[in-house]
Chains A and B, each alone.
Chain A
Amino acid sequence: MQRPFIVCDPEKCTGCQMCEFACSARHGGYNPLASHIRLVRIAERAAPAHIMSIACRLCDEPTCMAACPRQCISVSPTSGIMLVDKDVCNGCGWCVEACEFGAVTINHGERIVSMCNLCEDREDRPRCVEICVHNALALSTPAEVSARRRREIVRSGVLPEMRPAARDRS
């Protein structure tokens, strides 16, 4: 199944953290620690080198769901988002460890699991996508992501077989 989720283009992401501010404002107030999308900035020497934001990727076979000892995570049959039964979750954190993308966090206020719900309750686009003025974030499917990548790589002309110089050398 190809479900849309929040994808981030690291080439466009400036690491501005506005997605975290905007997301957290949807549940209580500004607090990046409570955001469902989280920014990663990794530096090399004197300046950031790797930057992107990560949110739940709506896995087909979610490891978070499999890891939960209380079976409180389920997949929404309509949108594919992870549904957390807040009455059952006790914030044990097994799902946090299980997620390969680091996309699961424990909400520091309620001490239960929180994950991206694609702003289901919002009429407009997800708030993080809306606030991302550099268009690094998009609500997209894996098929759309790979199609975009193909177009970008062809347009850039960086593939070795597209470079005349490379052909000459071989």
Chain B
Amino acid sequence: MYFERILHIDLTQGKSWVEPMDARQIQPYLGGIGLAVRLLYDHLPAGADPLGPENVLVFAPGPFAGTLVATGGKHAVVAKSPLTGMIGDSLSGSFWSHTLRRAGYDALVLTGRADALSYLVIQDDQVRIRKAGHLAGLDTLATEDAVRGELGSEEFSVSAIGPAGERLVCFALIANDRGRMAGRTGLGAVLGSKNLKAIAVRGSRTIRIADMVGLEPLTMDLARRCQGPMTEKYRGLGTPSNVLVFDYLGTLPTRNYRQTTFEGAEKVSGEALSRRYVERVVACSGCPVACEHVAVVRDGPYAGARARIDYEPLYAVTSLWGVDDLRPAIRAIELAGLAGVDAISAGTAVAWAMECFERGILKRGDFDGLEPRFGDAEAGLAVLEKIVRREGIGDLLAEGTRRAAEQVGGDSLDFAMQVKGMEMAGYDPRGLKTMALGYAVGTRGACHNRAPGYSADIQGRVSRFAGGPDHGAALVDLEDKAALLDSLGICKFIRAVFGDFYAEASRLYRAVTGLELTPEMLALAGPRICTLKKAFNIREGWTAADDRLPRRALEDAVPAGPNREPLMVKETELQAMIAGYYAARGWTADGQIPKSQLIALGLEDLAKDTGA
């Protein structure tokens, strides 16, 4: 449901106010990512410094937050990214999303900068800014605990940054509810730049939806189907089951993408993790699936390490470092969560540093005596600690792999595995061509969540070995569906549970909001939201030259298995896919958005910024 209220907080002035926003204005963007990006677009001055007070940080739950609609408690966090200088959109979920909704808001818009480290307390209609100097340096969990303790109620849900966010590490994250994270694009640094350590929310409003009698059986049915085969992977081994599958497919990034299979894959597989380390499985608030596999190390030098493990952080601190031991990996993922950095970007930065060391581009002296070689988990962890403290070489790596490579020079940019500044996720582009395209054109950089091309590759909708124009349409379809889920605030892990997604989402939406949202309207919302993000990037200076891949993906071939030519993304192949993608989006050959497209999507007001 919508409260038709947007909470604005100007941290410079220390003032807050509520602006009404009609449900009919919200509906084209649904909520979550869509609504947050629209609010960012409308409030951010073009060309703003991502870490300056003029950046705008928006939090928005989806329309189902606060209700029993399965997994509907996700919230978007959106700002201009300090990592890419383009759209920064991340998702988290659980108690915080539901609580923000119950506090009576559809979104929270933060501007300005507090004069000293502070935290924000939102208790229904009451908004307070409290001093947080005494919380400086605390990790994400200790911050949550300290804030709840000071406020004297467990009913507060807290989003917080760790020391990395305070130090403006460009891939710092925002954590909430003990282990959920808005991980990518460095939004923790944006919160840190606003001198905000945490946002505590308590909401006591009762969510009264349009048609309770109609919704109850729909939610019950959806919750039951979430126990079916389509979520078995997430409930069983969890996403770490990807390790062995990707090793088999030859798409498991290994030793900074020098290889795509890992001889130690078995040892760091989801199977090994589950057998030896997973203690229990936990759910987000409002989720019938329960995918959080909590792993605990019981012995050895990393005894006591405890973290929720998913595939992407896991590959980024195991195969990517050439490390075949789960114990330091669990510790590294725990450290990333506590210090508050995106483990994918941080792990990739460490792997890049390892390669620089092995090639002699960076020397022992650059690492204060460390010798970070592939396979050395301890050295990897030590470099990770330097990053979160911005100490020595860590200060450079904390800027992200692209800027670090630009500074270090040599040919190190060729193997900086990022696009637009954001590091690739755990899907090697050379054996997954739709993913390669998704990385190249993705509005937030090399991302597997907004541009999840891998699924067309793995399901065989297009050839994963040979890219061409058809991959464009396949990616558009996946991006649009992802945008819908991200804006409705529904978890992607139940995407396959829906039969006819448009029809089902339409029924749920009507029961919750009372508003008509036909499948036809939904089919336009996906492209509208994707196009809006692209328009944001164009306003920030995007050109077609930004839709590219690092040289390693284009020139360093990897084995493709028996009887196959070694794989890379050939330049001609990439250009054919990009052309197919622009065409499928209805964009010009150089990726610009024609006015007719903006009009078709109800975005004609953007024409002044896009030059269309």
Contacts and interface: CB of A to CB of B under 8 A. Distances in A.
Contact of B208 (A17, A29, A32, A108): A29
Contacts of A46: 141, 178-179, 306-308, 334, 337-338
Given A28-B206, A33-B204, A46-B308, A15 B179 contact: no
Nearest to B155: A33
A18 interface: yes
A45 B178 CA distance: 8
A21 to B, nearest CB: 4
Contact of B209 (A29, A34, A109, A133): A29
B284 interface: yes
Contacts of B338: 46
A108 B155 CA distance: 13
A16 B287 contact: yes
Contacts of A131: 68, 220, 223
A116 B337 CA distance: 38
Contacts of B68: 18, 21-22, 25, 30, 131
B285 interface: yes
Interface residues of B, number: 43
Contacts, number: 101
Contacts of A108: 204
B66 interface: yes
B290 A25 contact: no
Q: How large is the interface on A (under 10, 10 to 19, 20 to 34, 35 or more residues)?
A: 20 to 34
A14 interface: yes
Contacts of B290: 14, 16, 134
B207 A29 contact: yes
B204 A18 contact: no
Would you list the 10 A-B pairs with minimal beta carbon distance, nearest first?
A14-B290, A16-B283, A14-B283, A29-B206, A29-B208, A31-B206, A30-B207, A47-B294, A45-B306, A17-B285
Interface of B: 66-68, 95, 98, 102, 141, 155, 178-179, 204-209, 212, 216, 220, 223-224, 226-227, 279-288, 290, 292, 294, 304, 306-308, 334, 337-338
19 contacts: A14-B282, A15-B285, A16-B287, A18-B68, A28-B206, A31-B206, A45-B304, A45-B334, A46-B337, A47-B178, A47-B294, A48-B280, A48-B282, A49-B294, A51-B280, A109-B206, A131-B68, A133-B227, A134-B290
Given A18-B286, A29-B208, A46-B337, 7 more contacts: A18-B68, A30-B68, A44-B306, A45-B304, A47-B179, A47-B308, A133-B288
Interface of A: 14-18, 21-22, 24-25, 28-34, 41, 43-49, 51, 108-109, 130-131, 133-134
